[in-house]
Structure 1
């Protein structure tokens, strides 16, 4: 019987050669994703195409090979999906005897006799690329060591340079948090730098480029990425201007600045005005959603001054409101890559949600409760009122104790609080109940912390350091925190903006070795936004932060005195004596007779669209998968009785999105912790009654004939030991790889000693191990 490999070797390869496709223009078995992260370091299926045809640094076509005995278009739909990801227009599907061509642009397909030649296929794309675009494409990426760009990074760079080559002056790239936007920006700069592209006379000089950010931490991270061009870059700030006796630096090609440092301020002209309006050829705007398109903002004044330059905006997800419309300014994105895509491709970490409810989610004050400050203005306080309308430190303490119970002690964790004072109280309550002695185990990082806060944040971001472990904040850490090993994102604040919510989720998505997922622990119901119609798995950026001091509010970072500023989460003090000061917030100490407790913790796992599944949805999803894995109870029993077949079934369940941890959670939902997973699957698929592990083990123990076939007492003792371990721990004890450990734990000696007890050959030991399992599930 012929295989796909035979089709490739006997039909497709000769046909491509006849169409003048050379090996240098063909990538065979091209894997371009890492596979979705699963539990225990397992990965889902990687996306790959049998053939990827390319020429002049452009992907031109995908070829899908099928067995000669199969229909030629059997794999067409999957090939189309992959072609869309790779931005390929043409897909070919062939069983060798017939070849089908599909054009994604027209949406039509038909059978063809011969493959088009490289020149013919390239001509079909001819209208989409200019000479300059092609020149920029042909410049290799600047890569160090074994580094290779991910497919979407390569496509994003080409999309941007193609747009530059086509003469577009406003370009937008939209990529999820953690996908390497700064790396992409560097490669774009590298290409135009090497091509000596500029707006005056291409080829005559290298371009002058301004990288504009809104926080020092973002600008500094970008500078580190641009390190290969260290001699060609400089940062514009007050310190640099003072070094030049008040003159702005001009002796570089790549300039970095935060807009606060170069914008106009009261009685101070902006540094940007010291540059001729045509000084820069390219302006890169990082996190451009924050106000680049806002006509009233400082961003806009700077961009208007340099309006002749090409403006390239980088953002997580464009913001669209009445006063800031990123699309109106930049146009539609030249390239988009969403959080959903990043997770499914395996380049970002998936998440799970723990929704925590307490008996204080609705609070009615009684005469036993003590009002410490302020006056009560309503009968019922709901979860969204805490730390806005009413402050109850005992509730914050309950949250702190609960989150400590639901995280590993040294897992990096960010706690988002309602405001800076709430973040202080949360920090203090966590430190009150923590088990780790280090004084910096939990710290607050907000704009009030200044230099100390920034230093603690840098240590938190260091993946080689365990301390600080927990950071409490409010809005300051929604962006700009590149901490790859964040395992928990805790929400004890109401999140009104979908924009901000998506960015907060992005804090945990960066990939790190051993990090299979991160957990969103929600105390306020903020994760209900996952069910909002606006949630599509693509993170949007947060509301603009009106913190003129830059990251963590440190004046010294910009090199010049700063005007007073207040973190956007807090109200600024009122200095006008004619304005009545705000009333103090209601602060209450609850009565001693109140019982403060958590009433429910619900764990929800996400589907492929990033939407958490309810318990009912999770079960229904599993039930729909089971018929494809086994057709009857007897078939399931046969599979489950063999450790190798059972492991294969568990792997299939994992690939379908149900790992061992999720299945354990499912047993908890059905109060079946004492049962075997076999019984739960049989119950869900066929409504079979569930048996406990103890009853199964006792049934085997009562079968004297089974044990009597083993003459040596040591052999019988070992089998009884395995039964006991199974009864206590579960089916994991019956895996083939557990056998050496079970031998050692039983006191039987070495594997050789155990083999002697079962007749002298290892195969006899393994046979007995399998027969024991057959007895368990008969």
Structure 2
């Protein structure tokens, strides 16, 4: 009996007998998209045989096995999936036996019958309040045909469960690009529709404040909340002036940036208070703090004053950064997240785009000034300047020009690219150098091909950014920036993130990497091009790992008179550079040979960490025995195009996709060899064999060719071998067969079918047989 028989003859009747009707069961529940692979392919999607649910609770999953198999075969994978879905109960059955695992207690045992829906629901929701269950059962607000991703659903439920159970400080941690604003909207929708509020549940609809630190983030959120456009308003100076100095109160959903609400000064530099003080402290029921790690929870900032004023409200923070030493204040304020979803999970699930890393080094990464170099400003204080010193201690436009030309060399002309620079002046110089050399690299001559987008550009910069974000527009193509684009900017088709600045914070690094992770059609991956060694942060033990309790922070010394405490300066306003002495500005000698000395491609493993070439090969050698046990097993796989394609997809899921395997050939100077031979060389030390050698041996197999006596048949088979020798295994794909027939130009398709025996199947059989000989020849 097959697994399908087990389901139909045993599991389905057993579930029906204990009250599980069709509305409470989802069969073959797929909940990921499959990791994005090169060539518009996807890895395997995660799914469970049965998902049992009731009252918007995922209650259990069932793993079905054939009657002849052990009932708990595959249980571990089912447990792993249950953890992803935050499901407590897992069942595994071959029809004749049922095994139950409780992930909360860690205990498992065989049972006679499945629990009823109400029994399972009671086990899971025993401590929940009626408010929690009401919020759970309030439907999502979705466009026709759209469903939330599994982690979005879990995040919304985790937040509303916490609110319904009376939690006053709630934190959600989800990677950039996973839809935090969509999640926030669904939370607000559920609270709004159920008439939740801080005073009396059901008595009125809540008043909610959405706080951001940048206008562009607030405006993006307003667009997401469009279904409630008649119930929302933005608090800013223009709105208050329209109301003759009164803050708006006639709405349910309010949007504001911290700076608009914070303490203000008049023209005479006198304190006139913040708009937030014009609201009663209990005016809002819920405050949503977007990108809350950026300072809203710090004890010594004016942002904290706003939160303290509205302390009776529930505060819900949204962040993309797990707990680290540089954002411990956020976690001490909100507590542990009620739900987390990491960058690594998003990439492996296929909801975020993977990345590649190119580490670029120049011969100016270490600079010793000579008498031939001209000092334009400042004074040389060091004998040796390192790459981290550029644009902080020393300015050399020649280096920026060298970097700009290498960027243009590394990217395609119309690939949307963000270049992160040290400061606003550096971003200006980089923009100018890109535009100076763009024509030489075949790029458009449009004056807006490369633009700077920082806070200094104001409205013009925001308009250029909006055009950059428009996936239907190619111009602007390249943005240079320093701080403004590190968080929250939704540009889905970014293909390159260039780092020409020092990044000391893991939080900031994750935010910058997140600029490229959004999924877009035709975008298999994005590339991080690193000129400063910033990607060394990938090797930090904290990179996208489980959050750890950081070391206690040392107390900050008291502020000096007139000094602003940390946290008062929002990062977008002016983006001021740190106070510093005059930088050394030099003009390097024209006799210097300026060049890029190394572009190291770093491979990405399945944990998201880049690998050196040696580490890549070592990891591949470690993984190969898990995929095939012998050369003969691999030969059988490789001899059939469908099995070969499945195997290559498995390799990609382990972090070795087709583009990286091409680079592997170059590493061994084996571009003329078949990938099969490279794999057997790495796994079993078999000698490398060129494709031309395989073709020659196949042509010499007279037994095989004698089966096809017609001249056109033999000519077609030899044409296939020619194409394989020239370009490789892609020509042996089943989907290439029709194209090969057209290219061979041996008459009509009907003529070729007759040459092989008369039917399309005869042509296909010969195509498959040829590949068998190709890989089994001596």
Going from structure 1 to structure 2, the CA distance change for 1:285 and 1:648 (only over 3 Å counts) comes to: closer
Going from structure 1 to structure 2, the CA distance change for 1:722 and 1:635 (only over 3 Å counts) comes to: same
Contact map agreement 2:322 2:547 (CA 8 A) in 1: no
Taking the aligned partners of 1:70 and 1:694, their CA distance within structure 2 comes to 46
Range that drifts further, 392-401 or 586-595: 586-595
Instruction: After TM superposition, give the deviation of residue 322 of structure 1 in Å.
Output: 7.8
Alignment match, 1:113: 112
Alignment match, 2:272: 268
Instruction: After TM superposition, give the deviation of residue 757 of structure 1 in Å.
Output: 4.6
Alignment match, 1:180: 179
Instruction: After TM superposition, give the deviation of residue 319 of structure 1 in Å.
Output: 5.5
Contact map agreement 1:317 1:539 (CA 8 A) in 2: no
Alignment match, 1:166: 165
Going from structure 1 to structure 2, the CA distance change for 1:651 and 1:153 (only over 3 Å counts) comes to: closer
Contact map agreement 1:175 1:315 (CA 8 A) in 2: yes
Alignment match, 1:576: none
Taking the aligned partners of 1:538 and 1:107, their CA distance within structure 2 comes to 21
Deviations 1:458-501 (CA, angstroms, capped at 9, x unpaired): 00001111111111111111012100111111111111111111
Contact map agreement 2:295 2:567 (CA 8 A) in 1: no
Match of 1:746 among 741, 744, 747: 744
Deviations 1:8-53 (CA, angstroms, capped at 9, x unpaired): 2222222222222222222222111111111122221212112222
Taking the aligned partners of 2:472 and 2:615, their CA distance within structure 1 comes to 39
Alignment match, 2:309: 305
Alignment match, 1:558: none
Going from structure 1 to structure 2, the CA distance change for 1:8 and 1:697 (only over 3 Å counts) comes to: closer
Taking the aligned partners of 1:356 and 1:517, their CA distance within structure 2 comes to 19
Match of 2:456 among 436, 445, 448: 448
Alignment match, 2:558: none
Q: Does 2:44 align with 1:45? A: yes
Going from structure 1 to structure 2, the CA distance change for 1:477 and 1:697 (only over 3 Å counts) comes to: same
Alignment match, 1:578: none
Q: Does 2:469 align with 1:461? A: yes
Range that drifts further, 603-612 or 631-640: 631-640
Instruction: After TM superposition, give the deviation of residue 257 of structure 1 in Å.
Output: 0.9
Contact map agreement 2:19 2:116 (CA 8 A) in 1: yes
Alignment match, 1:255: 254
Matches within 5 A, 1:550-561: 553=573
Alignment match, 1:684: 682
Range that drifts further, 667-676 or 7-16: 7-16
Going from structure 1 to structure 2, the CA distance change for 1:693 and 1:743 (only over 3 Å counts) comes to: same
Taking the aligned partners of 1:458 and 1:141, their CA distance within structure 2 comes to 29
Contact map agreement 1:338 1:539 (CA 8 A) in 2: no
Contact map agreement 2:324 2:547 (CA 8 A) in 1: no
Going from structure 1 to structure 2, the CA distance change for 1:386 and 1:206 (only over 3 Å counts) comes to: same
Taking the aligned partners of 1:88 and 1:706, their CA distance within structure 2 comes to 56
Q: Does 2:29 align with 1:30? A: yes
Alignment match, 1:367: 371
Deviations 1:109-137 (CA, angstroms, capped at 9, x unpaired): 12222222222222222443100111111
Instruction: After TM superposition, give the deviation of residue 711 of structure 1 in Å.
Output: 5.2
Alignment match, 2:561: none
Instruction: After TM superposition, give the deviation of residue 528 of structure 1 in Å.
Output: 0.8
TM-score by length of 1: 0.91
Taking the aligned partners of 1:9 and 1:714, their CA distance within structure 2 comes to 51
Instruction: After TM superposition, give the deviation of residue 99 of structure 1 in Å.
Output: 1.5
Taking the aligned partners of 2:505 and 2:717, their CA distance within structure 1 comes to 59
Please, which runs of 5 or more residues in structure 2 have no aligned partner? 266-270, 549-564
Instruction: After TM superposition, give the deviation of residue 651 of structure 1 in Å.
Output: 3.2
Q: In structure 1, the residue corresponding to 2:39 is in which secondary structure? A: helix
Alignment match, 2:418: 414
Instruction: After TM superposition, give the deviation of residue 343 of structure 1 in Å.
Output: 1.1
Contact map agreement 1:263 1:271 (CA 8 A) in 2: yes
Q: In structure 2, the residue corresponding to 1:372 is in which secondary structure? A: strand
TM-score by length of 2: 0.91
Taking the aligned partners of 1:755 and 1:87, their CA distance within structure 2 comes to 56
Alignment match, 1:593: 591
Q: Does 2:654 align with 1:670? A: no
Match of 1:734 among 726, 732, 735: 732
Going from structure 1 to structure 2, the CA distance change for 1:73 and 1:643 (only over 3 Å counts) comes to: closer
Alignment match, 1:643: 641
Going from structure 1 to structure 2, the CA distance change for 1:588 and 1:693 (only over 3 Å counts) comes to: farther
Going from structure 1 to structure 2, the CA distance change for 1:336 and 1:759 (only over 3 Å counts) comes to: closer
Aligned length: 751
Q: Does 2:353 align with 1:349? A: yes
Match of 1:500 among 508, 511, 519: 508
Taking the aligned partners of 1:401 and 1:342, their CA distance within structure 2 comes to 33
Taking the aligned partners of 1:703 and 1:136, their CA distance within structure 2 comes to 72
Instruction: After TM superposition, give the deviation of residue 713 of structure 1 in Å.
Output: 4.8
Alignment match, 2:619: 621
Taking the aligned partners of 2:124 and 2:27, their CA distance within structure 1 comes to 22
Going from structure 1 to structure 2, the CA distance change for 1:538 and 1:222 (only over 3 Å counts) comes to: farther
Taking the aligned partners of 1:157 and 1:708, their CA distance within structure 2 comes to 67
Taking the aligned partners of 2:57 and 2:759, their CA distance within structure 1 comes to 59
Taking the aligned partners of 2:164 and 2:653, their CA distance within structure 1 comes to 43
Taking the aligned partners of 2:358 and 2:86, their CA distance within structure 1 comes to 37
Please, which runs of 5 or more residues in structure 1 have no aligned partner? 554-565, 573-581
Taking the aligned partners of 1:721 and 1:144, their CA distance within structure 2 comes to 52
Going from structure 1 to structure 2, the CA distance change for 1:363 and 1:646 (only over 3 Å counts) comes to: same
Taking the aligned partners of 1:171 and 1:507, their CA distance within structure 2 comes to 25
Instruction: After TM superposition, give the deviation of residue 360 of structure 1 in Å.
Output: 2.1
Instruction: After TM superposition, give the deviation of residue 666 of structure 1 in Å.
Output: 0.9
